[in-house]
């Protein structure tokens, strides 16, 4: 195989963008060969945009069974990601899935099992992992340069959305249409980076969510989540769609200093001596460890989505290591599910969550949802 023949399912904003990148040769090692969407007008758009050389399908099953492709890029509604991925693996196809991995960890776990059984390459569209700033954050933490983590704090409130955004589709911001709000729709990239860059999953979550406080929607429009880690460290994740101007600031404090990322800039304050060692030897009542602000070189630009696609294709063609393995999509979703469960129960919840309880409570939300249509939006 010299090039990965790729089909795109779901021609909404992101799916159309990905299809165009493939068709225009912007993804090394991959080419667009087929698209699938239930809406005739989107297929007509594809025909006008890409010409007659691209196969068009309305039926998901026909697409997966008959399209001339080696792998599929899934850009459909959240709920459908696991089902489509499992069918694709059953057809012997490689899979690249848009975020989030799904709506609940129970179904995503089945998707991960199908991926492992198939032996095919499975990746998630966590394009922010291609950002050299966050790659450097991960490097500083996992290499031990920051020392043992004491606290993490991410305020990401620059996801502003007006009411008109939610009015643009009856499925938007509904339990039955999307399965969640800002945590599931806007913030998955930061949630993924929070786990990936620190190398730490929370062991418990206590969350406070506002459901329809700022917008006429069913789901959460702001969240404050407090987490605990296995080593005793604490973390805070704050997000909202109703703050202007918003903030996007990550802080990670460790035994050897502090990392701050804001405005896509990395700042590193390094202690000359680990705080724990300084504390043991310090005799001055108000002494503090010596601290240096260190300039960290950030090399290159982020290739974003095309970088993830090229990495996926490279893994298929040469066995290259994936930047965003598909099985890791369950981690950030586990945090999201824990946040919802904590808010619904009004108590702290342990991770991994009780998946059966979560499914039951989500089903109740969906049964009373205002959205009663078919999930054919993309």
pLDDT digits (tens, 9 = 90+) for 202-220: 999 999 999 999 999 999 9
pLDDT digits (tens, 9 = 90+) for 334-364: 999 999 999 999 999 999 999 999 999 999 9
Where on the phi/psi map is residue 86: left (φ > 0), alpha (ψ -120 to 50), or beta? alpha
> What CATH number is given for 4-128+304-325 in this structure?
3.40.50.720
> What CATH number is given for 131-300+332-367 in this structure?
3.30.360.10
Q: What is the pTM for the complete model shown?
A: 0.96
pLDDT digits (tens, 9 = 90+) for 211-267: 999 999 999 999 999 999 999 999 999 999 999 999 999 999 999 999 999 999 999
Which residues lie below 8 Å from residue 89, measured CB to CB, with a gap of 6+?
Answer: 95, 114, 115, 117, 118, 120, 122
Spell out the domain ranges in the chain: 4-128+304-325, 131-300+332-367
Bond prior to 123 in cis (omega within 30° of 0)? no
Q: How far apart are CA 92 and CA 23, in angstroms?
A: 23
Kindly state the helix (H) or strand (E) to which residue 7 belongs, with its residue range: strand 4-9
3-state secondary structure of 107: helix
- Do the beta carbons of residue 105 and residue 201 sit within 8 Å? no
pLDDT at 41 over 50: yes
- Do the beta carbons of residue 109 and residue 363 sit within 8 Å? no
pLDDT digits (tens, 9 = 90+) for 262-306: 999 999 999 999 999 999 999 999 999 999 999 999 999 999 999
């Amino acid at each position: 195989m010299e090039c990965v023949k790729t089909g795109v399912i779901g021609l909404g904003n992101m799916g159309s963008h990905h299809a165009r990148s493939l068709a225009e040769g912007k993804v090394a090692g991959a080419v667009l060969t087929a698209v699938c969407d239930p809406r005739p007008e989107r297929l007509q758009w594809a025909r006008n945009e890409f010409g007659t050389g691209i196969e068009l399908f309305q039926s998901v099953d026909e697409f997966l069974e008959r399209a001339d492709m080696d792998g599929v890029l899934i850009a459909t509604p959240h709920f459908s990601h696991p089902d489509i991925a499992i069918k694709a693996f059953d057809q012997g196809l490689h899979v690249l899935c848009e975020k989030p991995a799904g709506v609940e960890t129970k179904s995503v776990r089945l998707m991960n099992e199908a991926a492992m059984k198939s032996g095919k390459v499975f990746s998630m569209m966590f394009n922010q992992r291609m950002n050299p700033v966050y790659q450097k954050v991960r490097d500083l933490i996992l290499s031990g340069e920051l020392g043992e983590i004491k606290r993490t704090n991410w305020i990401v409130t620059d996801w502003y959305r007006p009411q008109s955004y939610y009015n643009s589709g009856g499925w938007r911001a509904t339990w039955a249409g999307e399965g969640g709000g800002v945590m599931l729709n806007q913030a998955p990239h930061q949630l993924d980076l929070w786990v990936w860059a620190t190398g730490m999953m929370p062991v418990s979550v206590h969350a406070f969510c506002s459901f329809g406080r700022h917008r006429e929607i069913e789901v959460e429009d702001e969240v404050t989540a407090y987490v605990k880690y296995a080593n005793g460290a604490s973390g805070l994740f704050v997000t909202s769609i109703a703050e202007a101007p918003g903030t996007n600031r990550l802080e990670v404090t460790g035994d050897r200093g502090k990392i701050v990322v804001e405005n896509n800039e990395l700042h590193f304050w390094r202690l000359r001596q680990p705080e724990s060692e300084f504390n043991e030897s310090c005799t001055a009542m108000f002494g503090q460890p010596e601290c240096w602000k260190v300039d960290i070189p950030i090399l290159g630009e982020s290739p974003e989505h095309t970088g993830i696609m090229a990495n996926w294709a490279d893994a298929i063609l040469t066995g290259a290591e994936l930047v965003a393995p598909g099985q890791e999509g369950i981690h950030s979703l586990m945090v999201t599910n824990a946040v919802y469960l904590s808010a619904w129960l009004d108590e702290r919840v342990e991770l991994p969550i009780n998946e059966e309880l979560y499914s039951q409570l989500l089903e109740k939300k969906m049964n009373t949802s205002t959205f009663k249509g078919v999930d054919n939006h993309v």
